[in-house]
Structure 1
Amino acid sequence: MGEFGLLVRKWRGRAEMTQEQLAEKSSVSVRTIRRLETGPDKNFRLDTVRLLADALNLAAEERRELMSAAGVVPPLPDSPEARSDPPGADLPLAAVADQLAEVLQGRWRREMEQRGAHNPFPLPVRWQRAPDDLADHWDNVRGVRPGGTASPLDLAGDLTEIAEVYRRVPSGRLVVLGRAGAGKTILMIRFVLDYLATRTRADPVPVIVSLGSWDPTAHALRDWVVDRLLRDHPDLAAAAPGGSTLAAALVEAGRVLPVLDGFDEIPASLHHAALLALNGTSLPMLLTSRPREYRKAVTTTNVLTWAACVWIADLTSADLSDYLRRSSRTTRWDPVLSELRDRPDNLASKNLMGVLSTPLMVSLARAVYNDTGHDPVSLLDTSRFPATDDLENHLLGSFVPAVYPAHSAALPCSDWTGDRVQRWLGYLARHLGRLGTPDLAWWQLGNSLRRSARILGVVVTSTIVTVFADWLIYLPQAITESGVTFGLRVALLDGLLGGPIVGLGFGLVYGIIVEFGGVVFAPARVQIRWFGWSGRTPAARTVLARFGAGFLGGFAVGLGQQLVATIGRGMFWGFPTPIDTLIMTTLANMLVFGVIFGLAAGLVFGLTSVLETPVDLDSATTPLAMLRTNRTIVIRRVLVLAPIFMVAIAFGGTLMVTLLQGSLGQLSWPLSYGLTVGAIGGSAGALSYIFAFTAWGQWLVFCRVWLPLTGKLPWALTTFLDDAYQRGVLRQVGAVYQFRHARLQHHLGQASGHDPSRSLGQQQRKS
């Protein structure tokens, strides 16, 4: 038993909790807790450690001790977990960069372990200097003065030397070229880890960002890098000296080194603009790309200014032989390796060596044949695999069935059949293809539905929650005042009339901001403090803007509520005459309720800018950790603001009726009535707001109900995504998932209707 397991067991005993009780409180499975307490496993995940620490109610010192035992980065003495001040407040920018570096170091170390790059040893990734026409003049790379000359640098190296090679480049700009699957992603991760291991406080912090989601015609590179930082590190939304965010301050101060992954994944039509944008900045950077796409962009534009360039070499047969032999406890690969060694000129050997010359295909071959019982000798069958494309498609198509074996007890859900898993992964792959990005963000999954379907979903959801909120709150009062029969009729009709009005209102607003505003509901970067002021003074324009938005929304709701009330009263008691009296009374009531609801909503929305504080830096360690964090943020926001809204309506109504008494006729506002109206408005409005205008609410409506209901995604979606990550189908990059490789994503997206059961040894070549 390790130190971590001893600490968990000790503090669980102190809390008088069983493993099952700790699992229920922490949302960590019993199996995981049992393994952590008794096993030698050292692969700890930061979000798991945090969940256990929260469930055990550990003090700050105990929390740091637990995180230290887990081998993850404990909070700094002046970090958000050790202080009550807003994260980042009054911290020197160098200290913020140091904290970011420590978080990234822990994150990428765990990610490297998860990808199995060390098992049994990293595949060799070597490179040589690229042709001179793909790099800038050495005079520019080495920064010699005008009139001077510089000789080329020796840039040859392997995976263990990437940080050292980068530091040889005086300009701080290096382009790494390699064909699909050549190991560029592992090289980047290794670069970040090795660079951070030798980083001084004066050095920038390397941050990996995927270029596939960058539109250089819409966003400047610096602004886009800042946005990626804010997405993956919400704490950096805190204000820096000068009024910008900490993320923007870090980038502008040169404390961030962009590691730009996948120039080739930018749409080809934007390559020209992308190179121009990259050359329009003086930022140091490490850029990766496939050679063909980069060469084509260079010939139509220019090379990356000041940049040296290296080219990743293919694996050799010796590399392949050593790796596959040591990765298996059997001799199943020996006949294949012997064929490659003894008869390299055979068609079968040429084809297979051409495919297995990249780390991606080697890792797929290992996954497909090491643990499935299938014989890799079949890879030498040229009648089934006459060309390299056939072999590659076979390995890509066989990977998912290999890691999701049929009838396996290791599958989290019994209904995860091979065809369903293939269909779900294919849906995700096609969703990313439509978005034109490799980043699988949970808050964008709902956008895979048509806009009309999403608007309908918002209308239906808002209608349902409003109807039930009205019935739950107003029904007891109506029965008490009017008797069971009549009160039941009044309350039921009130809910059935009011619900669709609110639903249509929220659907209308949702449709407008999505259709014309192009809004994407991203996870919140701030949370509501439970107690008191957040410690910062928000800009006056922020408070006024939120107050104005809240007032307009509340005013519209008040108008609609009284119109519905007039119709309801007329259906039960008849419409009074003359008609002009009815109209004037209705208009007066609509005005009064509009002002009351508007002021209450404006007060609540304005108050959020005072109570908000950025979330912790560690909270977005993984996509699912960000999901849990945003769930907490949304629930906390509702629990704080809904009661304030109810009280504001109840007592604000009393004040407004007193002020307007006589000028608009005889007005009445009993406190009990105000509390009922406020409770209905607060609860229904808050729930409708969650489902319509928050990332977590959209996730609930579309990803946990709509998409599973239509069979496009599984019901246990979070479990499915995490399981796909554990099996190596997905990888994590900050707050988002990505497919293991763009080739796998493309294959799954194209494989609709494909029968995965035929991929392992039975699939016939398509005619």
Structure 2
Amino acid sequence: MAERLGPVLRGLRNEAGLTQEELAHESGVSVSTIRRLETGRAHDHRLGTVNLLADALNASPEDRKRLVATLTNTRQRDAEPHPAQAPQQTPAQAPAPEAAPVAAPVERAEPAPARTPVPAPSPIRGELAVAAEDLAREVRRRLQREEEQRRVHDPFALPVRWLPAPERLMDHRANVERLVSGVVPAVSHIDAALDASPDLGGDLRGVADYYRSIRSGRLVILGRAGSGKSVLTMRLALGLLEPPGFPERVPVVFSLGSWDPTTTALRDWMVDLLLRDHPHLGGRVRSGVTLAAALVQADVILPVLDGFDEIAEGLRIQALQELNAELLPMVVTSRHAAFAEAAEAARSPLVLAAAIELADLTVDHVVDYLPRTARPAADRASGSPPLWHDVSKELRALETPAAVTLAAVLSTPLMVTLARTMYSDGPQRDPRELLDAERFPTAHALEEHLLAGFVPALYRPRPAERRTEAGARRRARCNWDAERAQRWLGYLAHHMGSGERDQQDLAWWRIGETLPLALRILAVTLASAGCVALPEWLFGLATSTSGIGWILLDGALMGSVNGAAMGALYAVLVAFGRETFEPSRVRLRIPRRRVDLRGGPVRVTVRRLGAVVVGGFLLGAGLDSAITLEHDLFHQGPFSPAAVAGTLVNLLGAGLIFAGVATMSFLAMAVLETPLDTAAAATPGGLLAANRAAVLQQFVILAPLIALGIAFGGFLVGDLLRPFFGPMEWALSIGLFVGSVAGPGGSSSFLLSFSAWGQWLVLSRFWLPLTGRLPWNTIAFLDDAYRRGVLRQTGAVYQFRHLRLQHHLSQAFREQHRRRYAPAHFAVHVEQPQDYNPLPRTPPSRQLP
């Protein structure tokens, strides 16, 4: 009888003495996959996965044959492979049936036109194929959760329609079709796709099929602000990730607003964001590069670049040129005006790309959608007509200027969503006030009204309900009133746009940067001083026979020296190096096998070894200087030449001790580092928790290493310096005392000053709430704002629901603090054509330009 994979794998794992978690760490295969394989619930496992497990188990040739035989038996028993799929293809190599390029729609008697081959992804296998499969699953899970959070399908998706963009904003049809020279497309794939969809989309799910019809795989999606481009990109990515199987390339949505093409290449920027949002891709392949870099280099990632218009205006031309230099398949979204201006200035649109433009919502769409979002129970109880009855009647007639203005405003999904939130989701407001022409004489005034009422509507008081004690405490922390919530959100929005360029990413590790540099340096200095002064006082009171006044003075002096040193180093790194302390994407774990020194954190730390040595030497010399100064002033009186010479020798010795201890500690940390699990940092809160755990682990390891290194390192340094400076004494009691203070004090001050979580704790968790700029539980406030719908989540960072909402909150914050801040200079997004026809009830003509 043929063996099954589950029992064979479980037996080999038990023989090797490994748990499922340990096998996952050694092989790179997720724990969930191993669990499904051993229980027999996985029927789609690949040969590459089995090979990874066999390598991690050090399987013999006979055991490998048994594993491969079980794989073959399982496929024959359970699988029905696609006819075009080879038995050993990896998920990234085997395109789903829907992802195959559409053949030319011509008669069978005519030969297919010759085309330039579309660049295919590099073949991948082994751990890279597993990483691509895990990434596809994780991207799909996150996008589905984001769709649910935005209520895209509640009660139904707004009908987003699109038209072909003007030909000046797309490449030649022959280039998009990848036809060779001399071949003229009679009927292009794009025309065929449009002919097959008379309503030009209508359903968001149709965008994936439309993209598959584009031979070059390059598409530009244009539209007005709030026209639904971001939601359309989510639906496109989800459509390409729909089972069965996985696409040839994994679509990943990137927000273009954070890209600076003058400093970072497109592929490098993509790698950075993949590492930020998917920390498990920080693992290294045999060549030494990260999994993220290997996937990008192999063209396995399909970049869905959302928000070309959010790039700084002066960088858009170069950004378009950089995109044209990369001929890989991609999707780019932008406002029409911003992309058209960049294309005209660069004298080229996005090469090899088709372009479509989102159309406005019609009156029929609006009057069908908004009434269905209202709750009919309240209307039946009060006997009044439906909530949107009068407004719908006025919109259908379009006989008054107020109705025409409202129809123009509700032509985008963004404004429809704001109107729904203010009126349908809460019984306090009457939508008939939207037809008040005196109050809202222009479309801009009406849009500002909807934007201004969005946050108060979401933070309206919740009805009392029966809760558990723990749930009541949790809700009490998140029950912020609308006024304070709007002030805190306005503070964040203002500082996100107060620099040289707008920032769309609201990252928890960058919130502290909203404070002036001087205040940040002061906060770091005080925190570092307290980290050393507190253990100095505790150990001094426990061990010293000196008076309490002397102990307090000693701790204050040592803490001040450490605080000044850390503050100065922080100022140098931030002010001159412009360094941002990024969150750690690793956890600490004792390796069970030999460490690969060819790549990974060890090699990275070795490259930084010079800075570690110099920093440790200066810190040790500075602390010894303080000790010597204190001792000479209060015990020996004035300095003598011999005392000066001895002091210099002591400085050298202390510097070497601290430099050696710092080097040893950081190399030990590098050996213990391993990438985070696949879903360990799927959210900003998850990344924060992972960083908090990593910092605490680092403290637990660094504190005793530094303490013991200082206590016993003095003997080694004394032996090294004895041939040059004569006999040197190092008392073990002094070494233990200094180590006991420097171990916890030095490690905690370093971690608070130069880690992302430390900066978050000092600045965002304490300083900003202390001054009233943010709530005490900032991460809970941001998470609550995301659940309410003010923020959206993009990987490990938050973003405001829409850039217009961010600008509105920023401007409102400045108006409340106009004495301190200059007026806002954000442009008003009114993007109506000159001959604007408000909300035609029938789709516009679908004539190609």
Output the TM-score relative to the length of structure 1: 0.84
Tell me what 2:783 maps to: 722
- Contact 2:170–2:354 (CA under 8 A) maintained in structure 1: yes
Structure number with greater Rg is 2
Tell me what 1:467 maps to: 533
Equivalent position to 2:773, from 712, 728, 734? 712
State the AA in 1 paired with 2:495.
Answer: H
The whole-number CA distance in structure 2 between the counterparts of 1:384 and 1:132 is 41
* CA drift at 1:409: 5.5
Tell me what 2:281 maps to: 236
Equivalent position to 1:100, from 131, 135, 152? 135
- Contact 1:208–1:261 (CA under 8 A) maintained in structure 2: yes
The whole-number CA distance in structure 1 between the counterparts of 2:127 and 2:560 is 52
Q: Can you list the C-alpha shifts for 1:189-236, whole angstroms capped at 9, x where unaligned?
A: 111111101575561100101111111111111111111111111111
Check 1:558–1:64 CA distance in 2 against 1; reply closer, same or farther (3 A cut): same
State the AA in 2 paired with 1:568.
Answer: E
* CA drift at 1:747: 0.4
- Contact 1:533–1:611 (CA under 8 A) maintained in structure 2: no
- Contact 1:534–1:610 (CA under 8 A) maintained in structure 2: no
Check 1:232–1:645 CA distance in 2 against 1; reply closer, same or farther (3 A cut): same
The whole-number CA distance in structure 1 between the counterparts of 2:205 and 2:670 is 48
Whether 1:615 aligns to 2:681 is no
State the AA in 2 paired with 1:95.
Answer: V
- Contact 1:549–1:602 (CA under 8 A) maintained in structure 2: no
Tell me what 2:422 maps to: 368
Whether 1:250 aligns to 2:295 is yes
State the AA in 2 paired with 1:610.
Answer: V
Tell me what 2:571 maps to: 511
The whole-number CA distance in structure 2 between the counterparts of 1:526 and 1:634 is 10
Equivalent position to 1:384, from 439, 442, 448? 439
Equivalent position to 2:732, from 639, 646, 671? 671
Q: Can you list the C-alpha shifts for 1:85-111, whole angstroms capped at 9, x where unaligned?
A: 9xxx99432221111000111111111
Tell me what 1:545 maps to: 607
Query: Percent identity, aligned pairs only?
Result: 45
The whole-number CA distance in structure 1 between the counterparts of 2:316 and 2:284 is 34
Tell me what 1:639 maps to: 700
Tell me what 1:137 maps to: 172
The whole-number CA distance in structure 1 between the counterparts of 2:714 and 2:391 is 82
Tell me what 1:402 maps to: 457
The whole-number CA distance in structure 2 between the counterparts of 1:676 and 1:662 is 27
- Contact 2:218–2:329 (CA under 8 A) maintained in structure 1: yes
> Which deviates the most, 605-614 or 696-705?
605-614
Equivalent position to 1:306, from 319, 332, 352? 352
> Which deviates the most, 728-737 or 588-597?
588-597
RMSD: 2.9
Whether 1:693 aligns to 2:693 is no
Tell me what 2:150 maps to: 115
* CA drift at 1:81: 13
Tell me what 2:824 maps to: none
The whole-number CA distance in structure 1 between the counterparts of 2:691 and 2:480 is 28
Q: Can you list the C-alpha shifts for 1:463-488, whole angstroms capped at 9, x where unaligned?
A: 1111112112333121xxx2xxx243
Alignment of 1:264-283 (within 5 A): 264-283=309-328
Whether 1:219 aligns to 2:264 is yes
Equivalent position to 1:427, from 491, 505, 530? 491
Tell me what 2:560 maps to: 500
Equivalent position to 1:522, from 573, 582, 589? 582
Whether 1:337 aligns to 2:389 is no
Which secondary structure state, in structure 2, belongs to the residue aligned with residue 708 of structure 1?
A: helix
Check 1:449–1:82 CA distance in 2 against 1; reply closer, same or farther (3 A cut): farther
> Which deviates the most, 588-597 or 100-109?
588-597
* CA drift at 1:450: 1.1
Tell me what 1:418 maps to: 482
Tell me what 1:165 maps to: 210
Tell me what 2:513 maps to: 447
How many residue pairs end up in the alignment?
A: 681
Check 1:82–1:269 CA distance in 2 against 1; reply closer, same or farther (3 A cut): farther
Tell me what 2:383 maps to: none
State the AA in 2 paired with 1:118.
Answer: H
Which secondary structure state, in structure 2, belongs to the residue aligned with residue 737 of structure 1?
A: strand
Structure 1 unaligned segments of length 5 or more: list them.
Answer: 1-49, 51-58, 756-767
- Contact 1:212–1:437 (CA under 8 A) maintained in structure 2: yes
State the AA in 1 paired with 2:208.
Answer: A
Q: Can you list the C-alpha shifts for 1:481-521, whole angstroms capped at 9, x where unaligned?
A: x2xxx243332222111111111111111111111111111
Equivalent position to 1:318, from 339, 364, 369? 364
- Contact 1:135–1:304 (CA under 8 A) maintained in structure 2: yes
- Contact 2:581–2:754 (CA under 8 A) maintained in structure 1: yes
- Contact 1:527–1:637 (CA under 8 A) maintained in structure 2: no
Which secondary structure state, in structure 1, belongs to the residue aligned with residue 205 of structure 2?
A: helix
Check 1:311–1:61 CA distance in 2 against 1; reply closer, same or farther (3 A cut): closer
Check 1:608–1:84 CA distance in 2 against 1; reply closer, same or farther (3 A cut): farther
Tell me what 2:112 maps to: none
Check 1:276–1:199 CA distance in 2 against 1; reply closer, same or farther (3 A cut): farther
The whole-number CA distance in structure 1 between the counterparts of 2:33 and 2:233 is 34
The whole-number CA distance in structure 1 between the counterparts of 2:258 and 2:281 is 21
Check 1:259–1:639 CA distance in 2 against 1; reply closer, same or farther (3 A cut): same
The whole-number CA distance in structure 2 between the counterparts of 1:403 and 1:80 is 49
Tell me what 2:72 maps to: none
Tell me what 2:653 maps to: 592
- Contact 2:309–2:339 (CA under 8 A) maintained in structure 1: yes
The whole-number CA distance in structure 2 between the counterparts of 1:106 and 1:418 is 32
State the AA in 1 paired with 2:764.
Answer: C
The whole-number CA distance in structure 2 between the counterparts of 1:501 and 1:81 is 53
Check 1:120–1:83 CA distance in 2 against 1; reply closer, same or farther (3 A cut): farther
- Contact 2:241–2:247 (CA under 8 A) maintained in structure 1: no
- Contact 1:550–1:604 (CA under 8 A) maintained in structure 2: no
State the AA in 1 paired with 2:375.
Answer: R
The whole-number CA distance in structure 2 between the counterparts of 1:416 and 1:726 is 13
Which secondary structure state, in structure 1, belongs to the residue aligned with residue 355 of structure 2?
A: strand
The whole-number CA distance in structure 1 between the counterparts of 2:798 and 2:168 is 35
Tell me what 1:31 maps to: none
- Contact 2:541–2:551 (CA under 8 A) maintained in structure 1: yes
Output the TM-score relative to the length of structure 2: 0.76
Which secondary structure state, in structure 2, belongs to the residue aligned with residue 352 of structure 1?
A: helix
Equivalent position to 2:631, from 541, 554, 569? 569
Equivalent position to 2:797, from 707, 720, 736? 736
Structure 2 unaligned segments of length 5 or more: list them.
Answer: 1-20, 22-29, 58-123, 195-199, 377-385, 466-474, 817-849
Which secondary structure state, in structure 1, belongs to the residue aligned with residue 674 of structure 2?
A: strand
